[in-house]
Amino acid sequence: MSDSNSLKVIELFAGVGGFRKGLEQANSRLFDVVWGNQWEPSRKAQDAFNCYAGNFSSGEHSNQDIATVPNEFFQDVSPDLVVGGFPCQDYSVARTLSGEKGIQGKKGVLFWEIKRILENGNPKYVLLENVDRLLKSPSSQRGRDFAVMLATFRDLGYVVEWRVINAAEYGLAQRRRRVFIFAYKNGIPFDINQRELDKNEIIFKEGFFAKSFPVEVEPYKERISADFLPEDIIEISDEFSFNFHTAGIMRDGKIFTAHVAPMQKKPTVLRDILIDEELVEEKYYLTPAEEEKFKYLRGPKKIERTSADGHKYNFSEGGMSPTDDLDKPGRTMLTSEGSINRSTHIVEVNGKKRFLTPIECERLNGFPDNWTAGMSDRMRYFCMGNALVVDLIKIMGQRIEEIERASQPTDIQLNFSFS
């Protein structure tokens, strides 16, 4: 049960629990995860859910289609904070056939489930994670999808800050770039305090992200943009395009965005996350045949291909190092990690080349050793390729704790202007 001094949290699309692990590391007494949902529709075996349920004892663990959870459930839970990583999909919307019921999004798009949960749960904070290409999608109408999301938050009464963060630039072991979205309710103490700041102070110094992930005081190459979201979300879906930069804020439909330059910390390098070589099983070392395959995959190439309509073209690919540099942080880990794939990490230790072990992949994301033990190696790699960097969430959790401590109710209302 959640006590009066804690924040009730629900975790959506939970995977193996990266959000929850990070929040608990920040302050397990403040963040009370009362409900976590993880369901993989295309798999009979629910490995990620079983991992989640096995690692967390408290709260309710849900292994069902989020779309089947009734509105009343979220009304009853009434969470303070909703967190989750969700797929980057097509967020276009249209009017219903009658035109009387407002708008409808494409079926199966999980962001609309987030919208439904916010409408019914009315949390004061929302923290989401996605791939950074969300800011640019779709390619035919740049920025439309993110603008639809921002307009949805606006219509639900939220302010939104976003930031693209590369974990390695803030001292961590993986060059993993993701966009994080923090939304908070209009009128709460944090909102009232933020309205005293101008847009530059929020983005570069005092905002949710800037205080924890500091940036240079000037934008990269003077890249700054501002705009106003159209009132009609259908107009946004059909016509709006915009160049969203790596950081920004949307309040009352006003957008301000800038390309920020991080004040980088010395990263953790691959060498620092490797396990003792004596503990590495033989199956992780490359066979001569596998070495040859990786030599080809990671080498430069130009291949003639034929498209579906019979058009011939040259596919070219630049070369990359045959092994990953142990004195640099790891590259972005994908779900194909551990397979014969160009993107797979290959390390060379004591003259022998090998894959990263599942434990080392857990360390790249900041999970405890053997967090995913109990499932196949293939699924352990897959789950880590899908996971987020736990330490980033820990830092954001500490920021939310700071906000909670500083929050003092006040009746003062201040105007916010981008002028």
| Among candidate residues 114, 51, 50, 12, the one with its CA nearest the CA of residue 365 | 51
Q: What is the pTM of this model?
A: 0.92
Which pLDDT value is given to residue 1?
Answer: 39
Which pLDDT value is given to residue 315?
Answer: 80
Task: Find how far residue 325's CA is from the centre of its chain.
Answer: 26
CATH number of the structural domain spanning residue 43 = 3.40.50.150
Indicate whether 358 belongs to any domain.
yes
Query: Do 291 and 142 lie in a common domain?
Result: no
Rama region for 59: left / alpha / beta (φ>0; ψ in -120 to 50; rest): left
Indicate whether 413 belongs to any domain.
no
Residue 312 near residue 305 (C-beta atoms within 8 A): yes
Query: For every one of its 419 residues, what pLDDT tens digit does the chain have, with 9 covering 90 and above?
Result: 345 689 999 999 999 999 999 999 999 999 999 999 999 988 889 999 999 999 999 999 999 999 999 999 999 999 999 999 988 888 888 766 655 455 567 766 899 999 999 999 999 999 999 999 999 999 999 999 999 999 999 999 999 999 999 999 999 999 999 999 999 999 999 999 999 999 999 999 999 999 999 999 999 888 999 999 999 999 999 999 999 999 999 999 999 999 999 999 999 999 999 999 999 999 999 999 999 999 999 999 888 888 888 888 888 888 999 999 999 999 999 999 999 999 999 999 999 999 999 999 999 999 999 999 999 999 999 999 999 999 999 999 999 999 999 985 554 444 555 54
How far apart CA 103 and CA 231 sit, in angstroms, is: 13
Which pLDDT value is given to residue 2?
Answer: 46
Query: Do 218 and 312 lie in a common domain?
Result: no
Q: Based on the structure, what is the number of domains in the chain?
A: 2
Indicate whether 97 belongs to any domain.
yes
Indicate whether 418 belongs to any domain.
no
Which pLDDT value is given to residue 93?
Answer: 83
Indicate whether 2 belongs to any domain.
no
Indicate whether 417 belongs to any domain.
no
From 51, 88, 361, 383, active-site residue: 88
Indicate whether 232 belongs to any domain.
yes
Which pLDDT value is given to residue 352?
Answer: 97
Query: Do 212 and 291 lie in a common domain?
Result: no
Query: Do 261 and 155 lie in a common domain?
Result: yes
Query: Do 261 and 275 lie in a common domain?
Result: no
How far apart CA 371 and CA 128 sit, in angstroms, is: 22
| Among candidate residues 12, 257, 241, 251, the one with its CA nearest the CA of residue 148 | 241
Indicate whether 191 belongs to any domain.
yes
Query: Do 251 and 400 lie in a common domain?
Result: yes
> Has 361 been annotated as catalytic?
no
Query: Do 244 and 284 lie in a common domain?
Result: no
CATH number of the structural domain spanning residue 305 = 3.90.120.10
Which pLDDT value is given to residue 412?
Answer: 47
Residue 114 near residue 81 (C-beta atoms within 8 A): no
Query: Do 40 and 179 lie in a common domain?
Result: yes
Per the structure, the complete domain to which residue 93 belongs is given by: 7-265+389-406
Query: Do 127 and 106 lie in a common domain?
Result: yes
Query: Do 209 and 235 lie in a common domain?
Result: yes
